[in-house]
Amino acid sequence: MTISFDSSLLTSYYNAKAGVAGASASSSGASSSSTSSSDKTNSPTGSDTAPRAPWNSSTADADENSLVTRILSGHKFIDSSSQSSIEGASPDYNKLFSLYQGMSALQGLAQKAKDGKLSDNALAQVQRRFTAGMKEVDAYISDTKFDHVNLTEGTLTKELKNTVGVAKTNTTYTADAISTGSASSSVKAFEGDVQFKMTIKKTGTATPFEVNIDLSKMPTGQTRSMSNVVSFINDKLKEQGLSTKFAVNRTPAQPTTQTVNGKSVTIASGQDSYGLQIKGVSYEQVTFSAPDTSDAVYVMQTTGDPTKKITSTSKTSTDSTTSSTTTSSTDKTKSTDVTSSLMKFQTTDGAQGTALADPISKVGDKYWVQGESEQTALPDTVANVRQSVAGADGSVYVLADVNGTVSSQDIKGTQDVALMKYDSAGNLVYTRTLGASETATGYNMAVSSDGKVAITGSVTGALDISQTTTRTYGTGSTAVSSTSTSNVSTTGASPTTSDSFVTVLDSSGVEQWTQRRGASAEDEATAVAFGADGSVYVGGRTKSTMPGASGGQVGSWDSYLMGFSGDGKPAFTTQGGTTGSDTVANIVVNGNTVYTSGVENGDAVVKSYTIGSATSTDANGVSTTKTTATLASSRDLGGIGGGNISGMSLYNGKIYLGGSAGSDKLLASGTVTHGYSGGYDAYALSIDSNLANTGTDTIAYFGGTGVEKDAKVQFNNGTAWIAGSTTGELNGTTMLSTATKAQDGYLAKLDIATGTGTVVARFTGTDGKVTPNAIAVAPGASSVLDRLGLPQGKLLYTDSNQITAGTSVRTGDQFYMVDPDSGVKKTITIDANETLDTLAKKIVRASGYKLDVSVSKVLGKQQNQLDIKPANGSSKMEFVAGPTGRDALAGLGLEPGIVSSTAGSLMDSKAVDYLKSQKNMGLDFDTSLTLNSDSAISNALDKLAASIKGVQRVYTYLKYGDPQESDSKTKGNGSGVAPAYLTSQISNYQAALARLSGGQPTSTASLLLGG
């Protein structure tokens, strides 16, 4: 006797278990156009009829290729015109298949973008259509109502926590490790004359405590070990009744391993390392100082060969601000071993007190050289550093472009601008991101005498800014002024055109104001400076007329100068230049005179403007006073040979300029104290501040046998400090690396008056390739504290708790909350001073008290985060991303989706009638997907594949109903509960098998059910 079995039963069973519709059990014939469920009670549609899923078609791949072709020719992504002819089928299927079509088109475009053979124009077209499709599919998901399911773009969860935290009080300061081996061993950093002072201001006391530490006062013969020194310091603190304490911070040994024959082999066990740790209290403010100091120079560098590809690896980085650890995987096809770091060098300049002992290397320093006192790795996501400026307390500000999460802050677009402040010991004080929706680049930065910071650059796409408007009603003595603040989302002339921006932050790093000023064509802000009254001056270049400027465009790029009041109101704009390409590189302010330097049509040019005012009266007798900028003088210093001007200073009545030059044409009529060596040399020059040729013009070049292009120059009291790279002999020093096409970094000092140049340090790095990209001179910032890993100045225990300071979210960014039952939609807008606590209250109120929202500590991090839960068993609320370019969810690290007490359950906790109610289901559709890079394309393909599986799960539910398993149970798990109709068919199958096998059905049933 022969019995035939329908193999599609088994296929259907496993598809049902996975929650993905494959070849259906009831569509075993290739020509079948519908499926039929034998158990109507489980299907929420109340019908046993369902059209075949398009992904089950044998022509699915060909259909997708045809679809992509139509999309690229301008067809819509969502086509709702095709309707199922299957009588009795739910309309939900048609809507679902339209959604599937849109997602398949997006997936097809992403796959096409992955083709490395596409031309730039073809790729740009694919990217444009993908962006349009994302908006179209997003709108369809939001606007389409289903009869039997409630779809959300995101996920279903019982609890929602944001992944981006906001800083909380942290009274522990951990210094770099300075010794290895044992806490009782002698420490080199403690040798010699080690003296410093702690000034501690205690809350409630008028006079601060002074604690003088002098290790020569330790007991005679006692070893200067970590343990003994910490005990000595703590005794001094305890004597004055202070609660602040020092501790020994031990870092366990990290074994060195190597993979041999597929197995990890330990080569060296490593040693424990030790550093100082300060355990402070919130009511004691600690300030460090030292009796002997000298100047320091910070150099920002990149090291590594950008052409060398490396395999996918995991990197772990620690955020000094939050003590959080992040592990990220590099992209296998794009990653190189290029990294960025900050180096601090101790100089002999500006010495106060006795001569400082030479710096020593700390645990973990790489490629350390004599004179280097600090080495700090910058975040892996730093793509470029263009500027650094030293603070009055010895700290250093770093302006960087970042292409990913930085200091636990997620960026919105493909690139953002980050301002990072490091203390004099190299510990991160804070990070601030601009919050651009698409891309932004930082070009320049200035720090005022009272600690304000101004950053400038270019931005493309939307950027929310807080705008203050003052209106005056009436005239004369009866005039009344009204001031209002509103949040404005600014966009450029086109999505691909950059605009200039300037942002000013206070001394705590909290944004005060931002202005975006854009012409109709491309423009960018490349220079910035503060005036003594708090005004801000911005210079840059533009391809069309800037707002407020008179006259038309002169050359391909015109230079411009803009002024802003201390509170961010535009004051004036002046624009001009040659018929060639012009820009402003630097600005220096002296009273009511503003100096600019830049390159105009290949020549170095210095200009001075007189800042004044002009009053006009309108027909109603209302007087208006405006700030003016009048060009007072201009001087062409000659050809720069394709070089740059990277530094500018005003000192003792002279203007100083520095950079690199590709010719000897600069200041040809002046005195040359050291000649041009050929190729590209660094240079420094001085001219009279009235810009006239008084016969005292002086220039000195600095170069060797190699190439010294793109030198970074800063001045301190007329002395030029130069950071750059070289490929050969330089001032008596030779190449350190023997790598192919090696490039050393160097730090040098140049006396313009004598032409004497001194190489202070020469250094190498990974692959023998080093490129210094910014320099900052910090007067008095070197001391014995550097050896100990301790900072000068105040220890800051508390960072800003404002959301706009600790995340990439900007004032005015939004997200939505939608009640799945009523459809009521509430908008949540981030205010200027918003904190997690105030936001939590907003969310609770907007939910109609259906949610419980608390602010909790992030385990292992010095951060707080939101914790959102349903208030009761029936509560549910959907979180939806805000407008494109203004979405607050992404910046907060909140996933779109539905918060529900029944999320993840097989059925609602109540007896849900699927014929009358909707089931909440998530699609995991990421609205931020782009095709702007190889990694973005790979991410889009992965995310879209997951979303399409979400669509298939919805189809399975519409056909078979619940119970279904969640993904977490079906992945790698063979057990589960089959739908009722399938259980019945399996029973019949089991009985047939039992007759064949002699009556042992149990094991066979167990096999089928995964038992």
**Percent of the chain predicted with pLDDT > 70:** 81
Q: Model confidence over 203-234: pLDDT tens digits?
A: 999 999 999 999 999 999 999 999 999 999 99
Average pLDDT over residues 296-312: 83
Confirm whether pTM is higher than 0.85.
no
Residue 788: pLDDT above 80?
yes
pLDDT for the residue numbered 165: 67
pLDDT for the residue numbered 309: 67
pLDDT band at 960 (very low <50, low <70, confident <90, very high): confident
pLDDT for the residue numbered 2: 39
pLDDT for the residue numbered 267: 77
Average pLDDT over residues 108-137: 88
Average pLDDT over residues 537-543: 96
Average pLDDT over residues 545-552: 85
Q: Is pLDDT larger for residue 369 or for residue 45?
A: 369
Q: Is pLDDT larger for residue 219 or for residue 1010?
A: 219
Residue 516: pLDDT above 70?
yes
Q: Model confidence over 888-922: pLDDT tens digits?
A: 988 888 888 888 887 654 333 333 343 345 777 87
DSSP output for 357-376: PPP-PPTT--S--TTEEEEE
Q: Is pLDDT larger for residue 798 or for residue 471?
A: 798
352-356, 981-985, 1006-1010: the lowest-pLDDT one: 1006-1010
What are the beta bridge partners of residue 421?
397, 430
Question: Virtual CA dihedral for 143, 146, 149, 155, nearest 10 degrees?
Answer: -20
Residue 565: pLDDT above 70?
yes
- Which of 633, 634, 648 has the alpha carbon at shortest distance from 527? 648
Strands 155-157 and 897-900: parallel
Q: Which two tokens stand for residue 874?
A: 């029936």
Is residue 725 within 8 Å of 757, Cβ to Cβ?
A: no
Number of residues written out for the chain: 1011
d(CA 422, CA 396): 5
Q: Is pLDDT larger for residue 235 or for residue 896?
A: 235
Q: What is the DSSP letter of 182?
A: -
Q: Model confidence over 376-391: pLDDT tens digits?
A: 999 999 999 999 999 9
pLDDT for the residue numbered 919: 78
d(CA 450, CA 534): 9
Mean pLDDT of the chain: 83
pLDDT band at 16 (very low <50, low <70, confident <90, very high): very low
Rounded to the nearest 5 percent, the helix, strand and coil shares of the chain are 20, 40, 40
d(CA 836, CA 855): 7
Residue 470: pLDDT above 60?
no
Q: Model confidence over 800-819: pLDDT tens digits?
A: 889 998 888 998 899 999 88
Residue 315: pLDDT above 60?
no
Average pLDDT over residues 638-660: 96
Q: Model confidence over 158-209: pLDDT tens digits?
A: 777 777 767 667 889 999 999 999 999 999 999 999 999 999 999 999 999 9
Most confident of 659-668, 918-927, 991-1000: 659-668
1-10, 692-701, 710-719, 979-988: the lowest-pLDDT one: 1-10
Q: Model confidence over 584-620: pLDDT tens digits?
A: 999 999 999 999 999 999 999 999 999 999 888 877 8
- SS3 at position 1011: coil
- SS3 at position 110: helix
pLDDT for the residue numbered 155: 72
Average pLDDT over residues 395-420: 92
pLDDT for the residue numbered 427: 95
pLDDT band at 266 (very low <50, low <70, confident <90, very high): confident
Residue 575: pLDDT above 60?
yes
Q: Is pLDDT larger for residue 860 or for residue 450?
A: 450
pLDDT for the residue numbered 416: 95
pLDDT for the residue numbered 34: 52
pLDDT for the residue numbered 912: 37
Strands 698-702 and 671-674: parallel
pLDDT band at 151 (very low <50, low <70, confident <90, very high): confident
d(CA 628, CA 614): 7
d(CA 243, CA 205): 14
Q: What is the DSSP letter of 165?
A: -
pLDDT band at 413 (very low <50, low <70, confident <90, very high): confident
Q: Is pLDDT larger for residue 561 or for residue 94?
A: 561
Helix (H) or strand (E) holding 445: strand 439-447
Is residue 676 within 8 Å of 703, Cβ to Cβ?
A: yes
pLDDT band at 9 (very low <50, low <70, confident <90, very high): very low
d(CA 846, CA 840): 10
